[in-house]
Structure 1
């Protein structure tokens, strides 16, 4: 081997990256999973802290959901405006810049002097946390076709683990050092992750030729207008995460009140009850690779609807809450991974825009669930919240059944 080749080999060992035809190394898959989990966790830190934030900034119980809602609206805006850039720009730089912006938004929240700055900072956190989807699309683009479902499943498993640990970590840190420490500590960790990724990752630019930015953004709408599968899976995501957010955006209120009166740490710990969701993510990816996407979707949505039966008894039994949370998180993540695997396969060359567009439905559903559950809890208590969540879940199951039947009818007439 020549000296030039040896130097080239050593340089390749320091920077990770390859084309989609190669098998993606496990260490790179895990790096994406950890980075995605850390980024998305910031969107969910507030959930166990809502009652405390309401008291700190003089927000009424009916408006507590606004904290989650503005975060999700910022997330939706970022999905539409920022994630499509992954099909056009150098993803390494894009990921680094988005992580830097996320760190700045976290500092703004951690130092917020009043409600206006808090809500603006939360919107900024949501806007820049879409780096998660940029990284999911990057991981999917680097995986070969036979590996894609597994890679998306592992990376999404990291996302789900980040969501689950977000509630637990934020509750624990808030009890130990106050709620501001949650966001300040995350700002430091986000900066560290940005440096690490910039040093080891070489992904390259997107597959599109240079086009005007406005045309790139509008092409996301065009993709969904042309592809029925994208619309159906997007609507399923909307209803799926409306149900998910209905539970987790309102749970702090009944758990903070008698008869439970739990601490931040105890409330956050219930996020771990949904750890089965992380297991579901990996399993669903493998099932999709085997052609079982429709079956996985149907079973997942059935479990989602059933989960609201034990959840309705939360004020009488914490065991019922645990069982319901496991069922709900498992169902949500199984369907979510299946959705992403199916939609990415429609147009792999447009992965960032497809995943970004799909996640807009996710963000809109999450925002609706958050504000809806807060208003219903104030008006009708926990029973109203469970009725709302069950309604979203049954609507998703009905949509899947109707579109599956329609698909079979069209296939039979060909």
Structure 2
């Protein structure tokens, strides 16, 4: 596949309003490198590994070597990449594959945010250089076997202090990327004051047991773990110093939920582009499939969904770049975009017909993977209640 040149649009088919035009050329450069790696190295592996339900870890090195968290062009003089660049980085990964995007953001989004927001300034300064280069890898462990949407009040994993150590007992579930992580950012309830605290637990520590969740029909490449913690000892130095209640965890979720909205937008773009490739090459009744009115109507609806979603996440990124992080903003983006993602991937499957249930067209992957993204980082209903509370000033949570 021919590499993009600097004067070519990154998303000519799925971004008619040219939202990518808000990116600088310096921001587009690492995205072009990512595109080349995904097209040349990742895409040939996707069908085989999705079918097998395994992650292609031979991509770990190429992803790490791209240095996407701190590309040289964007960190000259100690600068930090803009939120819009971070969003398009996720978008580019997700338009190729949702598991790739989820796997990468487990490190670059979830774990890094846990350390940035939950750690003290000293902790983050010590850890972040290694996090950005993947020398220190980790995942975010909040959801439990019996507590998902009600995790704020229901979190059952316990932490008990004993001298300069903490002893953790409990279980976490649906933790993506845990098998290859160095650390598990575990959130547990302090038995002394009943408040939630955060800890970096070494994956290989005594008392930590990981079990692969099997039988998934969505995000099949992503390895999700059921984690059991049985008397796990963690030194005080690995307690996240700024996590003293669930409000502090909520601050992390406020910053991270927009990442999922970008993933949902990228899935739509990938499904739309796959459907478009198909109708441009397929003939029925002696005519191009793309020449039929009903097909064009579906393509138009899909493009509308992608365009609106991309505009929404870009606006959210620019707002967060200004330092404005509101629960209702990220919840609205995740809720609305995930809902329309479902519509987009369903239309893509309709357009591709019977071939839409095979991996060969890519549509089936996006169609299946969308279901997991629809639910994680807050279900549709929970996010709707967050937005509704902001609109009315009244909480409708049970």
TM-score bin (small chain): 0.3 to 0.5
The structure carrying a bigger helix percent of its residues is: 1
Bigger relative contact order, structure 1 or 2, given CA contacts below 8 A and separation 6+? 1
TM-score, normalised to structure 1, is: 0.35
TM-score, normalised to structure 2, is: 0.36
